[in-house]
Amino acid sequence: MMKRWVVLLLTLATMPLVLGFAGCGGDGPKLAKVTGKVTYKGQPLKSANIKFYPPSGPIAVGITDDNGMFSMNTNGRAGASLGMNRVAITKMTAGTAGAQPTTTMSPDDMKNMAKSNIKKENTGPKSEIPEKYGDADSGLLSADVSADAAQNDLVFDLQ
């Protein structure tokens, strides 16, 4: 019985090393640098989430900055998979639930807030842009990622 535990512990201890070496061969998807800008009704879209879905393999993700600019990353590596990618862009509000900091509220304040919210609709996060842009399967947005990174400076002008 003791031998089984030793074998199990040795197996578990060496597994990260084996898996680590297996990932070092560059066998992941071929990526190219992708940057760009997202606008909504002509204005830069700040803090939007962007996802690129390739036909197979891991998705690439990005977040826009204050100027609507983004760069894509796949599993911690810069870039997105080569070829045609379906694209989804989302931008959510923070919602009003929990908008008031509870750390500065007294127990009586919390009770009063709970009573006043009983009949109110819970207004969680809502999309700030049409939800159709967040559906990669809709075919509205796509990106053909080229091996030539100079061709991968994209603009998504949402209306």
**Spatial separation of the C-alpha atoms in residues 86 and 71, rounded to whole Å:** 16
Q: Give strand pairing partners of 154.
A: 36
Dihedral (CA of 16, 20, 21, 22) sign: positive
For the segment 42-82, what is each residue's pLDDT rounded down to a tens digit? 999 999 999 999 999 999 999 999 999 999 999 999 999 99
Question: Tens digit of pLDDT for each residue in 4-45?
Answer: 554 545 555 555 544 444 444 456 789 999 999 999 999 999
| CA torsion through residues 101, 45, 64, 48, sign | positive
